[in-house]
Amino acid sequence: MSKPKVGFYWCASCGGCEEAVVDLNEGVLDVVEAVDIVFWPVALDFKRSDVEAMEDGEMAVCFINGAIRNSEQKEMVEILRKKSGLIVAFGSCSHMGGIPGLANLHDKESIFNRVYHTVPTIDNPDGTIPQVETSVCGTTVELPEFWDTVRTLNQVIDVDYYLPGCAPPVNLIVGAVTAILEGKLPEKGAVLAPDKALCDECDRRESKPENLCIDEFKRPYQIIIDEEECLLAQGLLCLGSATRAGCDSICVKGNMPCTGCMGPTSRVNDFGAKALSAMASVANANDEKDVKRIIGGIADPVGSFNKYSLPASYLHRKVRK
Amino acid sequence: MGKHIIVDPITRLEGHGKIDIILNDDGNVDRAYFQVPELRGFEQFAIGRRAEDLPQITSRICGV
Amino acid sequence: MISLKINGKPIQVESGTTILQAAKQLGFEIPTLCYHPQLEPYAACRVCTVEVKNEKGNKLMTSCNSIVEDGMEVQTDSDAVAQARKINLQLLMAQAPAAEIVSEMAANYGVGDTAFLSENAEEKCILCGLCVRACEQVAGTSAIGFANRGKDRVVTTPFDVQNEACITCGSCAFVCPTGAITMDDPFGREVIHDEMTLGPDKAITVPFMQAVPNAPAIDTEACIHFKTDACGLCAEVCEPEAIDYSQKDEIEEVEVGTILLATGFKTFDASRIAKYGYGKLPNVITSLEFEKLSNASGPTGGDILMQDGSVPKSVGIIHCVGSRDDNYNKYCSKVCCMYSLKIAHLMAEKTGAEVYNFYIDMRTPGKGYEEFYERLLEEGMHLIRGRAADVSDWAMNEDEEGKLVIRAEDTLVGAVRRIPVDMVVLAVGLEPQPDAEEIRRKFNISCSSDGWFLERHPKLAPVSTFTDGVFLAGSCQGPKDIPETVAQSGAAVAEALALIDRGYVELEPNTAFIYEEECSGCKTCIPLCPFSAISFVEDKNVSEINEALCKGCGTCVAACPSGAAQQHLFTDEQIFEEIKGVLSYV
Amino acid sequence: MEQLNTEPTKTTANAQKPFRMSVLVCAGTGCVSNNSFKVMEALQDEIKKHNLEKEIQIVGTGCNGFCAEGPLLVVQPDEIFYAQLKVKDIPLLVEEHFLKGRPVEKFMYTPPEGEVAIPKMSDIDFFAHQRLIALRNRGLIDPEKIDEYIGRDGYTAIAKALTEMSPAEIVQEIVDSGLRGRGGAGFPSGVKWQLCAKQDSDTKYIVCNADEGDPGAFMDRSIIESDPHSVIEGMLIGAFGMGASEGFIYIRNEYPLALERLHVAIEQAEKYGLLGENILGTNFSFKMNVVRGAGAFVCGEETALIASIEGKLGEPRPRPPYPVESGLWGKPTNINNVETWANVPIIIDRGAKWFASIGTETSKGTKVFSLVGKINNTGLLEVPMGITLRDIIYKIGGGIPNGKKFKAIQSGGPSGGCIPEDQLDLPVDYESLSEAGSMMGSGGMVVMDEDTCMVDVARYFLTFTRDESCGKCAPCREGTWQMHEILTKITEGNGTLNDLAVLEALAEVVKDTSLCGLGQTAPNPVITTLRYFRDEYLAHIEKKECQAHVCRELNTYIIHGDVCKTDGKGCGVCRRECPDKAITGEKGKAHVIDQQLCGKCGVCYDVCNFNAITIE
Amino acid sequence: MSEQFEPKIVAFFCNWCTYTAADLAGISRMKYAPNVRVVRLMCSGRVDPQFILAAFRDGADGVLIGGCHPGDCHYQEGNYKALRRFHLLKPVLEEMNIEDERFRLEWISASEGDKVQKVINEMVEQITKLGPLDLEPISTPETLDEMLEKEQEIAV
């Protein structure tokens, strides 16, 4: 029986997820041994016709990373949906919208205006902006249509499993691939990662006091961050308690508070709202004046709590009138 | 109007790109366009974020 | 025991008794000036001199401090004694002419006026030293003492300066036989001698006649012993030695199953309505003060008297004082109408006065009350339907002279009437206790808008409160008269007993719980629980909720970052569905 | 009279070759105020000039006793007595007597009537009749040198007591000696010691009452100034006998010299191991404190004294309890007078029997008196009990000066009474003096001659007791003041017979009902003057006359015109001096006093050198 | 105007105080706008910010939280936590361009029936003025194409 075919595709992404696959290092040899990578834009050439030429379900699994931002990406993922048995949303962008998802705070017009007109480095006297169709020399040159709203993968096609993380951790990737090969997969729609919060595996957890209450939220530049003590206990906004474990707390080991790229645990619907609730509850103040003073210490709440998950949150984008 | 060659997408590189080559009648290149369809709007949504988050945000412009 | 003879009469007394005490036992009166049973004898005035005959011959000795000896023969009134007493009294009269006690004592020894020269006619002090000893031995402060010698000897404070050691207990003024020491009030109020001293309101009193327990108590603020650790006279004279100064107020913590709040009500402070003149005009009293007057064990022994002691001929009773009034209490206090009628009846019966009742609506609810009202009408009670405007002592014509004039609009007659009366009784309404707010917070129950404690449900649970096990009895829940209070209290007790009898407490099922396999041990929930129902299990590195302690508020569930904590009956899913549900219909 | 002379005199030995001559100069307060220190300096200079300092030593002794003749000195060994020396006499004296060995008669003492000087001290009447026991060392030793006291058998008594006698034997010795308190009341000291010894208490106190508040009395002062160690030794013996370990000497602040000498003596005694811890090597230790009295006469009374030592207001408290039961700070306290303590060492040394042989049946030993007033030989004398007042006045006192007639003698200070001439043959002892209405008292004796008005004397003493009354009990506080007012009225001539009756009644009541000794004895001067000199009172009241012309209100001053004109030649001195301008007259003529204007100040009588003015 | 815009308001009322007050308002026949749909929770502390956003997502035009006055909470501190979350959620909604009046936290004690009436009527009136929230729907694979077409029409 020939090796199952595997495909990778990227939408509005940064290529970090591709790097994660490369991070398998020699591990990639086992993968290649087990599967046949037939479709990987960063590594193999292909054209759309090649994909359309595949039979439906020809690929056993297709790992799609990156959020859906324009029409071309939508069309491609829809094709891949048809062509693959399993679709796995690979990385925060496809899982929750990721960093590009923050664009949902704006719309096409303000982005074009910023990118093509007002940004200091632009030289665009005519103020031309990209068009879907531009006729030139008798023919038309096309570009995919740029949407106002960034969408997660499962808002465009039906997604079977999710591999969280901004760039998913290597061990989770290996775990996922072996699980797919061995067919030992959880129920459809599951997130292929442990279902506990980061605190469980964080090696600073002993130093977190039982009656932790924050008198003042601090910014990393305000204090010399202690290497052993729990970051939240030091007053930093570490979202580890609301973020899924599995990344072996590489950020916290690097002395940087967790920003929630692995997304929420299964019982939580909106990561931003839940993290916000937890952080607000530990503020040590009861009367209005103190509450405002301490809570005011959290700057840019939307950016902090929904850094990777804005498109997947309930409000998913800024309300436009 | 000559032939219109489209290389879409260009691969084995980071990011999305598209080449349109328009030939004139005698087969020479009349116009050639290299178009980058991928735009995420970092310049716009980076505004208003916390300074200490910027290293995480800007590194997501290109993961390679 | 020592045996001796006094004026020929034999007596046996314990050793160490003084001649004065022995004489008193035999009923022989020996005059004294500088002697006080509770103070050490000082033997300065020499007025208690007696003639003593013993083996050494007879000698004049002061009896207040001389100890009896065997075979002593004492003469308390021999002529030598009389002569000595006469001369000494005349000396004292010369020294302190204004001291009446000395001239009186001298009078019953046949001494008219003194044969000696006196320098200062107003002088009252006979330098007996009672005040100095009282200050030292009773008050324990020695704030005053003697200064100078001979004729210039005087009782004063060090350097004649007001001495802060003086605790103004008034013992010196109280014990001074001639009134040379008086307590003056720096604010110049006219000070009655006994008011400022250990006088009627002593430091140890039975609060009032029917006090429970009906035993004396020491007011540690006023008692000298607690100020200077001296005095202790009460302990001295208390035979059963029941007085123990070391007793302290103790806070006892009692674990109870149920709590019955019966904190009662406060009468409306009538002085808040200036126009009724309470506290300013004489003979304007509240209904409670009327009860005191008509109480047999009250200050007047039950007769209704005006301040000048005479019996009032006409009385006005004003209803709804402070009730049914937007400026004070909107609610009707329910009981004033009926007790005003009772007062009116008692007033008529006891004093035979003309009684005028000023009412808005005569409320006679329930059994037997309307009949009582009918009876009063027959007895010729004057009832004027209209809220009394004001009470003043400003007379417009002679027959209002010296009377209190009640001005009120009589709505039935349609005119404003001026009724002159001798006495006005204000039927003050009922108000929640001033500290209701504090008590409410302590028992975690809530109040209704006008401050009475709020029952869990007016119909379904009228005597219990939102906090399980706390019940309401009596008028702390709302104004009610005695029969209603008794019934309602009975219900409250029944509820409490039911709870105690059941022996267990039913908990609401909406407690929180934690999915152990999903808990990351992030400890966020632990400090949030005011009932400390959440504890951290070290080895499993998870938090755990003790569902017996958990009251089911769900605060921890909302804060649990990984959603591992959920609440029975209020899980996240249920609430999300409920939100969808309430928004689904138009 | 048995031979009364001083004890065998031994010159004081000192380390190197004994001096051939010792000059004992009296350095008591009396003579010092008469600048006897300057006399001593002059003596030192002269001795040095003649470089005789190796052979002759100058010793400043305590009070010699013959104050009238101060400044004085006695030259030993041949006991030549020089009196009323001036600094300018010293060179002659030194040269004549010290150098050439010829006593100088000019400076010797000559008795008032006699012409012949008496060289030897013991032949002088003043000294001959005295018997020195308390004053045994007076005039013989330098009080500021302990060695000289030891030299005269000092501290042998305490050594004997500590080593050979038990405390009980000591107390018994004092009982057998019949010694009685020299403070005034005469309570048998032995009984008092027994009472105190009986008390079982871990701390007991011994007090020496050196308050001596009576005006004109200076016996205790002289004892302490001349022989402080005798008092210390006495107290040590008493303390050992009664089991006390701490003592107080309560001495008046007005005795600076005595105070200084007391401190010197205590220091030296402590240095010699005679005071402080383990005295003389035994396990008996005794701490001596000196407390200065603030000058209240009432603090002479024992309970007031105790209160004063305790720092409280000096006022007596009723007794019992007596100080021996509960005194200082409630502990048993034995209080004795300076003179009583001074007698104790001799009694222990010479034995009770020897002491009991002196004095009368009930009053044993001797008594020191300070004889003052209208007397020739003013001074300090110690006589055996039983001597008559007459002997004291005439034999020792040398009679009344200026040929005046003796009127009365006042003994016992302000608490004592005045004894008239016909009672002078009374033996001097406790009982007889109190029978005469006076009392032994501390020993002050004031002699009065015809020029003293007895009413004024009574008034004077009442002024004193009135001001010194502590004011605690009414009879004394008010009684003394009222008595004084009445007496003043009488001396001003407005007294009535009724006043006299009231005065008498009041005096009795104050005497009977006063709380302490002061009040009880304050009326004595009134009572005794009324008893013996009632006629003077009546003269003042009825005839408005004061025979002694002391009460000026009653005097009428008259100028004898003839004498003024002839002898005084109308000098007009009196006219000028008269404050009321009551005298008229020109120069050379007789002057006249206008009785209406005369303020009776008596200035004219004083200034008239020609005694042209007499008082009627 | 067709039928007038009727805002939908979701109110999370604490069982002990605000819910009882609403009950009292009812008993006392106090009229307040029906637009409020009450979700009873045991305490204002139970209100999870997800519920607020979910309510807006599900079509609510305004969300009201009713809790006990500080110090009165039946569970002593529940309302303090609600206050803390409220003040952190406020800026998020603001940044997401949801008007301030649409989300309110009110302390209403059991006896303040009139306050329930006042707050609800006031909130309804304000939101009616503001108009519907009309959050854009989140696409699902099925609804995506349809939504895109609609977007095209608006864009043109």
Q: Are A129 and A230 part of one and the same domain?
A: no
Q: What is the pLDDT of residue E1?
A: 46
What's the CA gap between C89 and C99, in Å, rounded? 11
Q: Are A216 and A308 part of one and the same domain?
A: yes
- Contacts of residue C366, defined as CB under 8 A and 6 or more positions apart, other chains included, come to C483
Q: How close does chain C come to E78, measured CA to CA in Å?
A: 6
Tokens 């999903």 belong to residue: C518
Q: Are D255 and D397 part of one and the same domain?
A: no
CATH of domain C512-583: 3.30.70.20
Instruction: Give the closest of E42, E72, E75 to C570, CB-based.
Output: E42
**Cβ contact C520–A241 (<8 Å):** yes
Q: What is the pLDDT of residue C251?
A: 92
Mean pLDDT of chain D: 87
Q: Which residues of B touch A65 (CB under 8 A)?
A: none
In a domain, D133, yes or no: no
Residue C281 CB: number of other CB atoms within 10 A?
13
Tokens 């200091």 belong to residue: A120
Q: Are D427 and D485 part of one and the same domain?
A: no
pLDDT of E52-102, one tens digit each?
A: 999 999 999 999 999 999 988 888 889 999 999 999 999 999 999 999 999
Angular region, D264: left φ>0, alpha ψ -120 to 50, beta rest: alpha
Q: Are A207 and A131 part of one and the same domain?
A: no
Quickly state the pLDDT bin for D2 (edges 50, 70, 90).
Answer: very low
**Cβ contact C524–A281 (<8 Å):** yes
Give residue C550's identity as a one-letter amino acid code: C
What's the CA gap between E68 and E19, in Å, rounded? 10
Instruction: Give the closest of A269, A295, A321 to E54, CB-based.
Output: A269
**Cβ contact E55–C579 (<8 Å):** yes
DSSP conformation class of C246 = T
Q: Which residues of C touch D509 (CB under 8 A)?
A: 83-84, 87-88
Which residue in chain A has the smallest CA separation from E92? A302
Quickly state the pLDDT bin for E155 (edges 50, 70, 90).
Answer: low
Burial C416-451 (b: 16+ CB within 10 A, else e): eeebbbbbbbbbbbbbbbeebeebbeeebbbbbeeb
> Looking at the complex, does the CB of residue B13 fall below 8 Å from at least one CB of chain A?
yes
pLDDT of C163-214, one tens digit each?
A: 888 877 788 888 898 888 887 766 555 443 333 333 345 788 876 677 788 8
Q: Are D199 and D282 part of one and the same domain?
A: yes
Residues from C contacting A (CB-CB < 8 Å) are: 515, 517-524, 526-528, 536, 541, 555, 558-564, 566, 572, 576
Domain membership of residue A142 as a residue range: 106-147
Domain membership of residue D393 as a residue range: 366-449
pTM: 0.57
**Cβ contact B1–A139 (<8 Å):** yes
* CATH-assigned architecture of domain E9-155: 3-Layer(aba) Sandwich (3.40)
Choose from B39, B50, B54, B59 for mutation: most chain A CBs within 10 A.
Answer: B39
Q: Are D117 and D190 part of one and the same domain?
A: no
Residue D420 is part of a domain; what is its CATH number?
A: 3.10.20.600
Count of residues making up chain D: 616
Q: CA D570, D571, D573: angle at the middle one, nearest 5?
A: 125
- Contacts of residue E12, defined as CB under 8 A and 6 or more positions apart, other chains included, come to E39, E41, E44, E47, E51, E63, E64, E65, E66
Give residue A206's identity as a one-letter amino acid code: E
CB A9 within 8 A of CB A80: yes
pLDDT of E4-48, one tens digit each?
A: 889 999 999 999 999 999 998 998 899 999 999 999 999 999 999
> Looking at the complex, does the CB of residue C110 fall below 8 Å from at least one CB of chain D?
no
Residue A175 is part of a domain; what is its CATH number?
A: 3.40.50.700
Q: What is the pLDDT of residue C191?
A: 42
Residue D221 is part of a domain; what is its CATH number?
A: 3.40.50.11540
DSSP conformation class of E78 = H
Q: Are D568 and D530 part of one and the same domain?
A: no
Picking from D398, D432, D449, the residue at the C-terminal end of a domain is D449
Instruction: Give the closest of C522, C527, C536 to A197, CB-based.
Output: C522
Mean pLDDT of D519-530: 89
Between C173 and A230, the higher pLDDT residue: A230
**Cβ contact E139–A295 (<8 Å):** no
Q: Which residues of D touch C46 (CB under 8 A)?
A: 473-475, 513-515
Q: Are D445 and D462 part of one and the same domain?
A: no
In a domain, A317, yes or no: no
Chains D and A touch (3+ CB pairs under 8 A): no
Give residue B28's identity as a one-letter amino acid code: N
Tell me, rounded to whole angstroms, the distance of Cα D450 from its chain centroid.
23
Nearest 5°: phi and psi at C374? -55, -45
What's the CA gap between D614 and D606, in Å, rounded? 10
In a domain, D209, yes or no: yes
What's the CA gap between A257 and A250, in Å, rounded? 10
Q: Are D253 and D116 part of one and the same domain?
A: no
Q: How close does chain A come to E115, measured CA to CA in Å?
A: 20
C257-505 topology per CATH: FAD/NAD(P)-binding domain (3.50.50)
- Contacts of residue D571, defined as CB under 8 A and 6 or more positions apart, other chains included, come to D587, D610
In a domain, A121, yes or no: yes
Domain chopping of chain E, boundaries: 9-155
pLDDT of D445-483, one tens digit each?
A: 889 988 888 888 899 889 999 999 988 999 999 999 999
Give D124's Cβ-side CA count (13 Å radius): 25
Q: What is the DSSP string of C1-19?
A: -EEEEETTEEEEE-TT-BH
Q: What is the pLDDT of residue C220?
A: 83
**Cβ contact C553–E58 (<8 Å):** no
Q: How close does chain E come to C160, measured CA to CA in Å?
A: 57
Q: Which residues of B touch A44 (CB under 8 A)?
A: 11-12
Tell me, rounded to whole angstroms, the distance of Cα E81 from its chain centroid.
18
Q: Are A61 and A143 part of one and the same domain?
A: no
Mean pLDDT of E125-150: 91
What's the CA gap between D160 and D347, in Å, rounded? 12
Grouping H, G, I as helix, E, B as strand and the rest as coil, residue C441 is helix
Q: How close does chain A come to B29, measured CA to CA in Å?
A: 12
What's the CA gap between D342 and C450, in Å, rounded? 95
Picking from D356, D390, D418, the residue at the C-terminal end of a domain is D356
Percent of chain E with pLDDT over 90: 73
Q: Are D239 and D91 part of one and the same domain?
A: no
Q: Are A123 and A60 part of one and the same domain?
A: no
- Rg over alpha carbons for chain D, rounded to the nearest Å, is 27
Q: Which residues of E touch A283 (CB under 8 A)?
A: 84
Q: What is the pLDDT of residue E105?
A: 96
Which residue in chain A has the smallest CA separation from E71? A286
What's the CA gap between D176 and D179, in Å, rounded? 8
Instruction: Give the closest of A279, A281, A314 to E57, CB-based.
Output: A314
Count of residues making up chain E: 156
Q: What is the pLDDT of residue D300?
A: 87
Q: Are A301 and A250 part of one and the same domain?
A: yes
C2-107 topology per CATH: Ubiquitin-like (UB roll) (3.10.20)
Q: Which residues of E touch C552 (CB under 8 A)?
A: 42
Q: Are A90 and A235 part of one and the same domain?
A: no
ipTM score: 0.55
Q: What is the pLDDT of residue A1?
A: 59
What's the CA gap between E63 and C42, in Å, rounded? 88
> Looking at the complex, does the CB of residue C578 fall below 8 Å from at least one CB of chain E?
yes
- Cross-strand bridge partners of residue A133: A142
Strands (E), D402-542: 406-411, 417-420, 444-449
Which residue in chain D has the smallest CA separation from C41? D318
Instruction: Give the closest of C515, C527, C558 to A277, CB-based.
Output: C558
Q: How many domains does chain D have?
A: 5
Q: What is the pLDDT of residue C77?
A: 87
Quickly state the pLDDT bin for D5 (edges 50, 70, 90).
Answer: very low
Q: Are D425 and D499 part of one and the same domain?
A: no
Q: How close does chain A come to C468, measured CA to CA in Å?
A: 26
In a domain, D53, yes or no: yes
Q: What is the pLDDT of residue A162?
A: 95
Which residue in chain E has the smallest CA separation from A301? E92
Is the per-residue pLDDT at D252 higher than 60?
A: yes
Percent of chain A with pLDDT over 90: 79
Across the C:E interface, residue pairs with CB atoms under 8 Å apart total 94
Q: What is the pLDDT of residue C188?
A: 54
Domain chopping of chain C, boundaries: 2-107, 129-244, 257-505, 512-583
Between A138 and A63, the higher pLDDT residue: A63
* Each residue's pLDDT expressed in tens, for chain C with a length of 586 residues: 888 889 888 989 998 899 999 999 889 889 999 999 888 898 888 999 999 887 777 888 899 988 888 888 899 888 889 989 989 999 999 999 998 888 888 888 888 888 888 888 899 999 999 999 999 888 888 889 998 888 899 999 988 888 888 877 788 888 898 888 887 766 555 443 333 333 345 788 876 677 788 888 888 887 888 888 888 888 888 889 889 888 888 899 998 888 999 999 999 999 899 999 888 888 888 998 888 888 876 667 788 888 777 889 999 999 999 999 999 999 999 999 999 999 999 998 888 899 999 999 999 988 889 999 999 889 888 999 998 999 998 888 888 888 899 999 999 989 999 999 999 999 999 999 999 888 887 887 878 878 899 888 888 889 988 777 889 999 999 999 999 999 999 999 999 998 888 887 777 889 999 999 999 999 999 999 988 899 999 999 999 999 888 989 999 999 999 999 999 999 999 999 999 999 998 7
Q: Are D229 and D256 part of one and the same domain?
A: yes
CB D353 within 8 A of CB D176: yes
* Helix H or strand E encompassing C542: strand C542-545
> Looking at the complex, does the CB of residue A283 fall below 8 Å from at least one CB of chain C?
no
